[in-house]
Structure 1
Amino acid sequence: MYGDRALPRPIADAQVDYHLDASERPLVWIGGGLTEFGITPGSVLAPEHFQAARRLMHGEDPRTGQTLVEPKLAIAPAAKLPAAPLVRAIRRAAAERSVNPMTLLDSKRKQDAFRRMENQLTRFGESHRISASTLLKLAEAVGIDAVDLYGEDALEKAVAAESGGRLDARALLRAVEARATETGCEPGDLFTAASLKRRYAQTAGEGERRLRDLPMDVREAVAMAKAAGLAPEDVWDAEEIKAALLEGRVQVGNFGADVTLDLAKSKSAFLAYAPEDIAAQVEDIYTSAGRESISALERWTAYGMRGRHGDGQEAETVKTSGFSGWMMVHRAARPVDGAPYGDPHFHLHFTLANMVKGADGKWSTMASGGRDLHRHARATQSLMNARIRRELTDKFGIGFRRDERTGAWEIAAIPEATIRLFSKRDNQVRDLLTKLGIDYDSATTRERTAASTASKAAKNGEAAGVADDVLRGYWQAEGRAAGDDPDAIAASAMEQDRVGQNPGLDELCAQVFDPKTGLTSHSKDFTHAAAIAAVLDALPYGVADAAEAEHLTDSVLRHAGYAVKLDPKGAQHFTHADRYTTADVVAAEALGLGEAVRTHEAVASADAAVKLADATDKAIQDVGARNDDHVIRNAKGILRELRSAAEQARSATEAPNVEARQADLDAARTEMTKAAKAVRPARDAYRNCLDNLVN
């Protein structure tokens, strides 16, 4: 670790290496943030720059390796022990002294730590674990022997796992002395805090007594170097610091994001069947649309955050120079059932480092920890598809139809049989879900993803690097074997009637806000970001650019009689954070509120009526055998009416139609009220009858 000993080369991250596969097409640098490193967006990411790309994904300057965004670290699992034994011991100690457990802890920090432990135990149960250092501090404050709770062996292992790496303090002493000589002061005077002055004097004394290495905790060493006005990288090797920081810690959080932009299957099939020159132009349209969409995503989400967020405080956003990443092209899906190549499946991977440089010159993570990327993922995908529809229509006269099941815009001339032929991976996932007893159309995203992962075949290296003519020849031969005429299908796709226009605002709003298929078909509210995607998905002719998409969305949200803006809720620093519902939902909510009140009244009346009927029925059974007079016979008839009315009220509350339910409830309430009034005198008559019989 020290002196001339070299650090081992870091193990390559498998995910990063996967996204550095240039066998399909050359990788392309993407994002305005690249200019911070002298890299031109849109230029080729050649193999000799792969190390620079890896550094980006680790929050480092691609040129020097300097850390620009510190990785988010957490204490290693091996350094943690169960929290429950300690919490129980502290509670017992407090009970024995008849005090609140908090009074046993001598600092706010320890009290907060104990409060968090209790909360996490309530949330996660016995599985919650805490670091050995926190455990020892709390146990010592209360006078509890941690060894008795956990055992000496387990405690020693946890402490050793948490201790972390060390740096050579002699390097720090030499650097501090050199700095003091430059500034003309005593070395200890470089530290302003008294505690740091004492620690420096202690370390200097140990250095005089010890002849060999002088290890110091990495975090303490780095803090002391900064306090003395030194850059830690000037005192120790940067890689050495990183390695020491990672000892006893695990890296959590995201290195970056993979934004994958997909196409409807017919677009990939057209690329496979089209003549070579047409296919090249179409691929350019696809990739250009993808890059335009990522540029929009960059404008929407490539911001940084400054300040604390949470506990009643709200951080602020800051503009940045943009994303830093690259684009990778894939032409095919994974092969199925041992086939040499997968089906045509053109898609783009955009690998984006989780770091941006703000206008204030500071580096940080992006998009609120990446959450805003996820919020805009669908809008980005929809924008790409809308741009493709516009370009294919204008340039080749291609028409589109909307699939009723998926909602995707497919090229009208591509037969459904061709789409099924080249959807083997989708069929594979469907088959697996069926075997598991899960319907594909009703399966959750998590279930579909799990099925896709479980059925996934390894990438075929030969297929990944195969020439275009070989791959397209294979697909066309497969199509012919299935009865397709690839040339005729491609030609017919370019002979369709041009749409040339999108629906008017009224028709567009009717589609976007359709109660059965629109934005509120599965949820009562939606965000501005979701509205952008919905508007784009409703346009057969697509859009000219992202600005047109945003303008159309604003018009749709302002159009009278449809969208209703809701009060702010959740994080407001997100882009397109405004929440909306629709006028029909508001009307239904108002009707539903009144209905709920009436339903509650009706059910309560039904419950009361049934109880009354049960009590009266018991009286009839007790008396009826010996006194079958007119009152009892009449009461039996009343009871039948009462039970019928109660059942009618309960059935009404389950009616599927709101208007019908309203009428049924009103009728049921009337009948129950009438029946209940009739029962009361009958009940009194039973009581009189019972009294007479008893006496």
Structure 2
Amino acid sequence: MAAEERGVAAADLLEGKPKQQKVLAQQQRMVHRQGDRHRMQVGTLHKLARAADLDLADVYGEQELADAREHTDARVDDRVRGWDLMLDMPKSDSVLAGLLPDAHSQEYRDLVHRAKVETLREVERWVGYAVGSEDGRPVRLSTGGLLAWSVEHQSARPMGDGQPGDPHLHLHVTIANMALCEDGEWRSIGNSGQDLHRHAAAADAHFKARVRALAFERFGVRREQAERTGAWEVSGVPEQVRDLYSRRHGRIVEMAGDESGRQERDRAAAESQARGRRRRDAGELAAARRGGRCRRRRHGRGRRTWTARPRGRPRARQTRRAADSPAVRRGHSHLRPDERAHREPEDVLARAAARRGRQRAAVRAGRRRNPPPGPARR
């Protein structure tokens, strides 16, 4: 605004001050890129205003300046800790790995990890360096290599319909943004990760090529290029089967449209993921409530007596006869494996079994209460 009033460019206000002109040009680029979301440190603004013979109070309000100066020393750590490099394969590879017998399926996944190791060695050769400074100039430094680890996923995210996700064999490789340099210092890798982003497509192509070669070498897997996607799919896995196990992709295309581009489909995928997370959270909460009610009914206890035993009630003494009774064994056998690990103590099961036996005996005896032999009470 001051430059417009004087009829000159903004950089001309800092004529003869190249350092301030460089800072101004950098901030102008950030404003052009981020718009109103861009924030500047009040100290930097003060230096630029002083160099241009301006007063910040004439540009910003007093309260806004006071708030900014109050948080002068506050900093937001926006350094990048690492990156997630995903290595995936065509859908037919996931279908093949899922249909193979267990031993061959494990061997197929092992060769996938072998291709991953070979790919990471290439990535390490491409981006496993750091950048230092010598006489004010950037220099390339050798490092001891990359620090990375991987996680294998065999399925895609669930669709929220209670069914597991579609087969989708892929790997997530976490690469730490740190490497030990030859001078003993730890620095970021690959020019702060810029080279890693440049080589991501090359890493993906190398990984897929190694999987194809290893699968043909071990299993004789032949491939043909899909006309619609261009991917090298396994011969013998038709497109109908691949589409059958690509429900999530079909939903994303349905949400974004057949003519949608990459950005529209990415937004649709994020929206679908958020919806699935909300449905999953709601479903897990409802399932937990249903499970709690079922366990209370199974053990014969009401809502009020589930969390605490009433005062004054004698505690049942567990005996071998009650613990080995058919009722207790039946009550345990119909539990699912995950519930057996969380069943209530044996004295609760014994009381429930004794109560069930007394009820059955009363029905057989014409509602006469003839309690069966059970745990003796103190």
Q: TM-score, normalised by structure 1?
A: 0.36
Tell me the CA shift for residue 151 of structure 1.
Answer: 2.1
Q: Which residue does 2:120 correspond to in 1?
A: 294
2:259 to 439, 445, 457: 439
Alignment of 1:527-546 (within 5 A): none
Determine the structure 2 residue equivalent to 1:537: none
Letter in 1 for 2:56: A
Per-residue Cα deviation, 1:327-346 (whole angstroms, up to 9, x for no partner):
11111101124133100001
Give unpaired runs (5+ residues) of structure 2. 282-378
Q: CA deviation at 1:147?
A: 2.8
Per-residue deviation, residues 643-665 of structure 1 (Å, max 9, x unmatched): xxxxxxxxxxxxxxxxxxxxxxx
Work out whether 1:331 is the aligned partner of 2:154. yes
Pairwise CA RMSD: 3.1
Unpaired stretches in structure 1, ≥5 consecutive residues: 1-87, 165-247, 462-695
The answer (yes or no) to whether the contact 2:14–2:51 under 8 Å persists in 1 is: no
Alignment-mate amino acid for residue 201 of structure 2: R
Q: Aligned to 1:306, which of 126, 132, 153?
A: 132
Residue 154 (structure 1) aligned to one of 36, 61, 64: 64
Q: Give the deviation of 1:429 after TM superposition.
A: 1.0
Matched to 1:250, the amino acid is V
CA contact (8 A) 2:14 2:52 kept: no
Shift of 1:439: 0.7
Give the 5 Å matches for 1:259-658.
259-307=85-133, 315-434=138-257, 439-440=259-260, 443=261, 445-456=262-273, 457-458=276-277
- Distance in 2 between the 1:352 and 1:122 partners? 31
Query: How has the CA–CA distance of structure 1 residues 154 and 280 changed in structure 2, closer, same or farther, with 3 Å as cutoff?
Result: same
The 3 A distance-change label for structure 1 pair 325 and 124 is: closer
* Inter-partner Cα distance in structure 2 for 1:458 and 1:123: 32
Q: How far is 1:357 from its partner? A: 1.5
Q: Report the 3-state secondary structure (helix = DSSP H, G, I; strand = E; otherwise coil) of the residue aligned with 1:317.
A: strand
Deviations 1:508-544 (A, max 9, x none): xxxxxxxxxxxxxxxxxxxxxxxxxxxxxxxxxxxxx
Tell me which amino acid in the other structure corresponds to 2:102: E
- Provide the aligned length of Structure 1 versus Structure 2: 275
Deviation (angstroms), 1:126:
7.2
Distance 1:117 1:289 in 2: 44
Deviation at 1:417, TM superposition (A): 1.7
Distance 1:252 1:127, change over 3 A: closer
Whether the 8 Å contact between 1:290 and 1:384 is mirrored in structure 2 is yes
Q: Does 1:102 align with 2:14?
A: yes
How many angstroms does 1:375 deviate by?
Answer: 1.9
Give yes or no for contact 2:158–2:164 (8 Å, CA) kept in 1.
yes
Tell me, in whole angstroms, the C-alpha distance in 2 between the residues paired with 1:145 and 1:379.
52
> Which of the numbers 223, 247, 256 marks the counterpart of 2:82?
256
| Alpha-carbon distance in structure 2 between the residues aligned to 1:160 and 1:252 | 21
Deviations 1:617-650 (A, max 9, x none): xxxxxxxxxxxxxxxxxxxxxxxxxxxxxxxxxx
Q: Relative to structure 1, is the Cα distance of residues 413 and 304 closer, same or farther in structure 2, using a 3 angstrom cutoff?
A: same
Q: Helix, strand or coil: the match of 1:405? A: coil
Matching residue of 2:339: none
Cα 1:425–1:144 shift into 2, 3 Å: same
Q: Does 2:32 correspond to 1:137?
A: no
Paired letter, 2:75 = R
Which has the larger Rg? 1
Q: 1:446 to 1:152 in 2, by over 3 A?
A: same
Question: Residue deviations 1:362-408, cap 9 Å, x none?
Answer: 22111122121122222222222222222222222222111122121
Q: Distance in 2 between matches of 1:126 and 1:384?
A: 41
Give the percent of matched residue pairs that are identical in Structure 1 and Structure 2: 31
Q: Structure 1 pair 101/339, CA: closer, same or farther in 2 (3 Å)?
A: same
| Equivalent position SS for 1:251 | coil
Tell me if the contact between 1:301 and 1:373 (Cα under 8 Å) persists in the aligned partners: yes
Return closer, same or farther for 1:400/1:120 CA change in 2, 3 Å cut-off.
Answer: closer
For residue 299 of structure 1, what is the amino acid of its counterpart? R
Q: Distance in 1 between matches of 2:84 and 2:29?
A: 34
- Measure the CA separation in 1 of the matches of 2:51 and 2:244: 70
Q: In the alignment, which residue of structure 2 is the partner of 1:200?
A: none
The residue type equivalent to 1:338 in the other structure is D
What amino acid maps onto 2:255 in structure 1? L
- 1:486 is matched with which residue? none
Distance 1:153 1:144 in 2: 18
Do the aligned residues in 2 keep the contact of 1:91 with 1:101 (CA within 8 Å)? no
Q: Is the 8 A contact 1:102 1:111 kept in 2?
A: yes
Residues 181-233 of structure 1: CA deviation (Å, up to 9, x unaligned): xxxxxxxxxxxxxxxxxxxxxxxxxxxxxxxxxxxxxxxxxxxxxxxxxxxxx
TM-score (norm 2): 0.64
Alignment check: 8 A CA contact 1:90 1:142 kept: no
Q: CA deviation at 1:150?
A: 1.9
SS of the residue 1:153 aligns to: helix
Cα distance, 1:285–1:121 mapped onto 2, change above 3 Å: closer
Q: How far apart, in 1, do the equivalents of 2:34 and 2:99 lie?
A: 55
- Once the two structures are TM-superposed, the CA of residue 318 in structure 1 deviates from its matched residue by 2.0
